[in-house]
Chain A
Amino acid sequence: MKKAAYSFPEEVLEHVFSFIISDKDRSSISLVCKSWYEIERWCRRKVFVGNCYAVSPPILIKRFPELRSVTLKGKPHFADFNLVPEGWGGFACPWIRAMAGAYPWLEEIRLKRMVVSDESLEIIAKSFRNFKVLVLSSCEGFTTEGLAAIAANCRNLRELDLRESEVEDLSGRWLSDFPDSYTSLESLNISCLGNEVNLLALERLVSRCPNLKTLRLNRAVPLDRLPNLLRGAPQLAELGTGAYTSEMRPDVFSNLAEAFAGCKQLKTLSGFWDVLPSYLPAVYPICSQLISLNLSYATVQSPELIKLVSLCEKLQKLWVLDYIEDDGLEVLAASCKDLRELRVFPSDPFGLEPNVALTEQGLVSVSEGCPKLQSVLYFCRQMSNAALNTIARNRPNLTRFRLCIIEPRSPDYLTLQPLDDGFGAIVEHCKDLRRLSLSGLLTDRVFEYIGTYGKKLEMLSVAFAGDSDLGLHHVLSGCDNLRKLEIRDCPFGDKALLANAAKLETMRSLWMSSCSVSFGACKVLGQKMPRLNVEVMDESGPPDSRPESSPVEKLYVYRTVAGPRLDMPGFVWTMDDDSALRIS
């Protein structure tokens, strides 16, 4: 009977494995037996590394010698909100160098929150002959010179996506470095660039690439150039406009409207900086085909905003500013029955008073009217347990729920009670909830709910909440699927952390800043858990210059098979078992 297992030739297994794409499944295959591990690793083509410090380039290359696609993530999520100081890490260079040597046939590199230099981009441009996809998401450290190298050398490039990266924009000339013979562009996202690109070069590029499906322009592309671009790419499926304003002229308007109407495949719209409301009707003809609309830069108010949204009956994803207000969300709920994702951003996040009539009611309306709503990000200034309860009962199918009540520690505005019960209702009813962000006044009780009900929760973000270590303990001991936990300004300390040390090895990472974790506890954790990197960040000096009981500024703990990292800046210390304190 044993023989049967070995009677499949490798090639057959490889062929079978080629149908297994998900990382989790691939991982499972590799655990079946040694020979499957071997076969699988040779035919793995795509790898996702959620934390670039969890593994090292040599380890990756040794295990997977034939990769075509690599995705890496660097800095912790809270880096998005300036909580991670400059120079912390996430450097792409060592990875790019190593891959340049090991994977000459590499086709795709996707990086998120990493520091990428022009040098790295030049290496990519020169090392991979069949390079097709470069996605730099929320990255920084490079200039348009690096982009020029990519444009000039990557003959087979399909996708260049710089979403939300910080690029030093030296000149728009780089776009002209795509040779005239280059026609394979399918997706271009330059929305983050500050300066004007060479518009003629852009127009020519767009019109000679017949497979261009995604074009996201930057703000500097004037509206009156948009019609030409659209005419050059009538097959476009996703468009990000530039500035959406121009001197109001009927001929410009009709030109624009005509050009939009010609894009029969257009499904996604974004951009819309500097909107002049009278130009919005130019997109009306295609509203009924839109499934995704990002108006989160559009400082346009009702009624134009509401009118636009109400025409998009097929809408699945809407990102918008709180100018939409409760009234607009009610219209959304009535018009867009296919809505899956809603994000409402604040137009005046630092204002002390509300500047728009957007309250919890808007979200309640959408939860009532949109049966497919799964993903919510909502900034508002008041919330109640009753509203959260209603939302939870209306939408048990929620998978992502991120609520930000702008004033920290705001209680239920009706009862003055903490919002424990409301969020408790969310985790209790939304059984498939994978991501949750909390805000408002919260005690340890909300964490008890989360630990009890949040069994599928993978990512939890907490700020200004809880009373004691018990809160943290509930989460770490109860949430079976927790992968990422990020906490700021909560009174969580040593006890819960040390009691749940083993849990941390089952997670990708834990971030705690401005909490009550002592330096001594960090040392203990680092010594106890060799497979965790316990990194303490303190910009006020070495933590051992203060008593062991003093709380650390920031703590970042992550599991790794690569040992302590060697590229830490002066304000990061690793707690490992070699020496309690090693300064890199």
Chain B
Amino acid sequence: MATSASAYENDIKNLKATELTLGLPGTHLQQNVPIIDQEKSSASSSSNKRPLQLSHEETSPAQDCGSKCSNIAKNTDDDAAPPPSKAKIVGWPPIRSYRKNSLQEQSEAAGGIYVKVSMDGAPYLRKIDLKIYGGYPQLLKALENMFKLTIGEYSEKEGYKGSDYAPTYEDKDGDWMLVGDVPWDMFVTSCKRLRIMKGSEARGLGCAV
């Protein structure tokens, strides 16, 4: 009766050998964590942008989660493969259809602009609706509350000085920008996702390319 569990563990170990991971060697769990696509910094086409220089390995390993983190099959090629899609199992998770429909309808009906927010070191991806914020101050406040941190004040020259964190976003062209660089309305329509960077790259931001 214990065989299935150990067979399962063996499978995990075998898989582990072939996977590229975010976690430290030795951390291995089935837990799903956000798959943060690593994209090369693209050559900026617009002169107004200050794209961030990103390299493949610069995301800090999710050390904070310790044993909570898991292996993710990661593809660091130029053509980043989409995250493994799952065949949907009929009737799973066990939720009534009217519930599922209602959630879907609400996100569509509200006309919300939902973007994913990830933070370096946090195991959870969040989704926020940009439409509900009136401007940058509200958005930043919300992010601070959500992730329990201080982001600090934005300055065009120096970025988010005095903070270990910098909110960045990926825009329509695939460039990573500092939140606050462009007028709010332009930001709302061009932002594809948010990422709160931490550590050295955060402090290094703000310098014009």
Contacts and interface: CB of A to CB of B under 8 A. Distances in A.
Contact of B92 (A302, A410, A416, A463): A463
B125 interface: yes
B95 A82 contact: no
Contacts of B132: 277
Given A82-B91, A273-B106, A353 B98 contact: no
Given A274-B106, A354-B123, A411-B8, A404 B94 contact: yes
A548 B167 CA distance: 63
A401 interface: no
Given A299-B103, A353-B32, A413-B30, A443 B91 contact: no
Contacts of A81: 90-92, 94-96
Contacts of B28: 416
B127 A348 contact: yes
Interface string B89-105: 11111111111101100
B89 A408 contact: yes
B68 A413 contact: yes
Contact of A353 (B35, B85, B99): B35
Contacts of B157: none
A408 B33 CA distance: 16
Nearest to A411: B30
Contacts of A410: 30
B4 A467 contact: yes
B2 A443 contact: yes
Nearest to B103: A347
B64 interface: no
B109 A274 contact: yes
Interface in B1-53: 1-5, 8-9, 12, 28-35
A19 interface: no
A521 B203 CA distance: 69
B145 interface: yes
Interface in A330-363: 345-350, 352-357
Interface in A72-106: 78, 80-83
Contacts of B99: 296-297, 345
A379 interface: yes
A352 B35 contact: yes
A444 interface: yes
Scoring B1, B67, B107 by chain A CB atoms within 10 A of each residue's CB, the highest score goes to B1
Contacts of B97: 82
A385 B10 CA distance: 21
Interface in A431-481: 437, 441, 443-445, 461, 463, 467-468, 470
Nearest to B35: A353
A303 B145 contact: yes
B126 A441 contact: no
**In the complex, which range does the number of interface residues on chain B fall in?**
35 or more
B77 to A, nearest CB: 20
A418 interface: yes
A349 B95 contact: yes
B32 A381 contact: yes
Scoring B12, B28, B31, B84 by chain A CB atoms within 10 A of each residue's CB, the highest score goes to B31
B106 A353 contact: no
Contact of B4 (A78, A345, A353, A443): A443
Contact of A354 (B89, B95, B124): B124
A356 B126 contact: yes
A488 interface: yes
B93 A406 contact: yes
Contacts of B89: 408
Contacts of B100: 349
Nearest to A410: B30
Contacts of A357: 124, 126
B5 A417 contact: yes
A203 interface: no
Contacts of B199: none
A407 interface: yes
B1 A407 contact: no
Given A81-B96, A408-B89, A299 B107 contact: yes
Interface in A365-416: 379, 381-382, 404, 406-411, 413-414, 416
Given A273-B106, A347-B103, A416 B29 contact: yes
Interface in B71-98: 83-86, 88-98
B90 A83 contact: yes
Given A83-B90, A354-B125, A346 B106 contact: no
A444 B4 CA distance: 10
B209 interface: no
Interface of A: 78, 80-83, 164, 166, 192, 273-274, 277, 296-297, 299, 302-303, 345-350, 352-357, 379, 381-382, 404, 406-411, 413-414, 416-418, 437, 441, 443-445, 461, 463, 467-468, 470, 488
16 contacts: A83-B91, A273-B102, A274-B106, A297-B102, A299-B106, A346-B95, A352-B84, A353-B125, A354-B125, A355-B116, A355-B124, A410-B30, A413-B31, A416-B29, A461-B94, A470-B1
The 5 closest A-B pairs by CB, nearest first: A81-B91, A353-B34, A83-B91, A81-B94, A353-B125
